Amino acid sequence: MLNLLTGILEPTKGTIIFQGQDVTKKTITERCRMGFGRTFQVPRPFEKMTVFENVIVGGVYGDKLSEKEAKNRALSVTELLGLGDKREWLAGKLGLLDRKRLEIARALASNPKVLLFDEVAGGLTESEVSDILGIVRIVKQQRVSVVWIEHVLKTMREGTDRVLCLAEGRDVICGLPEDVMQSKEVHEVYLGADEP
């Protein structure tokens, strides 16, 4: 789904509408500049660049900022996400949690309207997942919508307003997190129907 929204994959049919505009034929860059920010399940930093330089790239290429404007945004975004003390670190030297923070920071530097999270809690400890939930609260305070694909139940319960369960390309159920998680439909999809 995230690959379709961001233009990495082209749909076989249908259209993708964003803020009333058909973006189906728009390039990845055009979609980013229209307001799609994205993280990846496996972080993809520019490993030989510093944290600060990685975030600058998000502003320059994702939002067409001048280098000076991108540096200013990178300063505020790295501070916001708890990376201020690691700005000069090479991205390749970061641990998993900080790599995920960097993914989010680089996406935020593009000034998104919608931030697409691809399993940002995957592989993290319980306390690190709590750190990610704190970041999500910060992102929401920036008036950025978050679409989050995740399998860590804590994130769905504590970090979302609504949960949509998809299975085999179809919409199973959408609603409040607890309602969805306790629904018969989700139980059947993930655990199988009860034997008579």
Strands (DSSP E) along the chain, which ranges? 17-18, 21-22, 36-38, 114-118, 145-149, 163-167, 170-175
Q: Provide the residue type at 190 as one letter.
A: Y
Superfamily of domain 2-161: P-loop containing nucleotide triphosphate hydrolases (3.40.50.300)
Q: Using alpha carbons, select from 174, 179, 100, 111 the residue that is nearest to residue 135.
A: 100
User: CA 121, CA 132: separation in Å to the nearest integer?
Assistant: 7
Q: Kindly state the greatest CA–CA separation across the chain.
A: 67
Per-residue pLDDT of the chain (196 residues; tens, 9 = 90+): 899 999 999 999 999 999 999 999 999 999 999 999 999 999 999 999 999 999 999 999 999 999 999 999 999 999 999 999 999 999 999 999 999 999 999 999 999 999 999 999 999 999 999 999 999 998 898 899 999 999 888 998 899 999 998 888 888 999 999 999 889 988 888 777 655 5
Q: Name 90's bridge partners.
A: 50
**Burial (CB count <10 Å: 0-12, 13-18, 19+), residue 178:** exposed
